[in-house]
Structure 1
Amino acid sequence: MSGIRRVSKELTECQGPPPPEGKDMSKVKLQDGAAILPPTTMEGIWAKADNSNMYRWDIWIEGPANTVYEGGIFKLKMELPEGSAPSGTGGYPFKPPKINFTTRIYHPNVTNDNTGDICLSLIKTDVWKPASKIKGVLEAVRQLLIEPNPDDPLETRIAEEYKNNRAEFEKNAKSYVQRYAKDTLKENSSKTTTKKETLKNAPSKV
């Protein structure tokens, strides 16, 4: 299967089934500043490919319940490596996707800066397998919010804090949620100029 066909197939899988008749499930509603997201086939994850390049995706992950990230919506960018035309060989799925948090997050496995690099074993070059799927990558990123891995950190100080002073870690992580992850969807919508454009750019179901 060529790279472009593989990406197209996985995009279809991630976006899930169409919404029920008569309901526009792609709408993002905001009530009192809190985001209310549409139902999804993957728990707490939404994805939207760039209209002009399906190798570039916007991802939204809802902070899992009963974690320090609960109540936040985290936006990520994912870029799939493009291979040589016309076969697409040398790109995805032979090389792993690159994924970054664009919403700041206090986490031992994510760089504490504006680049938002992620340490995730699944997408390391020496671990990645062509049979791996984007859906699995997104689920693994969400799982990192539930279970950080302080033994393989990008932020050593935060990892030490997580292991040795959990209360301080939780306080700092929750502070980041309040500061950076509360208005993620509102900021995404504010870039548009009309209601029609806002709905068009809202996240699709995964």
Structure 2
Amino acid sequence: MGSQKRIAKELTELTESPPEGISVELANESNLYEWKVLMDGPEGSPFHKGKFQLKLVLPTEYPFKPPTVSFVTKIYHPNVTNDDKGSMCLGMLKADEWKPSSRLGAVLQFARSLLEEPMPDDAVEARIAEQYRDDRKRYEEIAREWTRKYAAGS
């Protein structure tokens, strides 16, 4: 029961004063454990002007187990799987690095900061990470192209 109280409190905080470029709502009113997150591509990144939808799923053991964050919107990024799952690799969300004191707002801000500064050394898409390191210009072209194609803000 404690986890529901905490989740509701964090949801209220994020709805009332969301971090810059991020908005949060329940994916389904009757389920506190699944959130729909809308994230603006940060200015100065190849994702700028994109609107990305993410899914945040909380385990029933939250805050003792980390949430999972995945991109519903396709994105060309070394830290997000290129499949229909859009799983995001975030160090702080790994079971052994997760701290119960972590806040969901911080998780989402970290996810957004990864759009500005990918972490090629912690990549789930090795090919994209390699391109990011070796041919930044081409990486940014493709990332911009995908953003236009899949994440054009309406």
Length-normalised TM-score, structure 1: 0.72
Counterpart of 2:51 in structure 1 is 73
Unaligned runs of 5+ in 2: none
More helix by share: 2
What is residue 150 of structure 2 aligned with on the other side?
A: 180
- Select the residue among 93, 98, 101 that pairs with 2:68: 98
Partner of residue 20 from structure 2, selected from 28, 43, 51? 43
Q: Extract unaligned runs of 5+ from structure 1.
A: 18-40, 83-90, 187-206
Give the CA deviation at 1:152: 0.8
Match of 2:5 in 1: 5
After TM superposition, list the pairs within 5 Å mapping 1:160-199 onto structure 2. 160-183=130-153
Percent sequence identity over aligned pairs: 45
Which of structures 1 and 2 has the larger relative contact order (alpha carbons within 8 angstroms, sep 6+)?
1
Q: Give structure 1 regions of 4+ aligned residues with deviation exceeding 6 angstroms.
A: none
CA distance in 2, matches of 1:137, 1:158: 23
Corresponding residue for 1:64? 42
**Bigger radius of gyration among the two:** 1
Q: What is residue 115 of structure 2 aligned with on the other side?
A: 145
Q: How does 1:127-142 map to 2 (within 5 A)?
A: 127-142=97-112
User: How much has 1:42 moved relative to structure 2?
Assistant: 1.2
Q: Counterparts of 2:19 and 2:56 in 1: how far apart (Å)?
A: 17
Cα displacement string for residues 99-129 of structure 1 (whole angstroms, at most 9, x for unaligned residues): 1000000000001121100010011100001
Structure 2: which amino acid aligns with 1:9?
Answer: K
How far is the alpha carbon of 1:3 from its aligned partner?
0.7
RMSD over equivalenced CA pairs, Å: 1.1
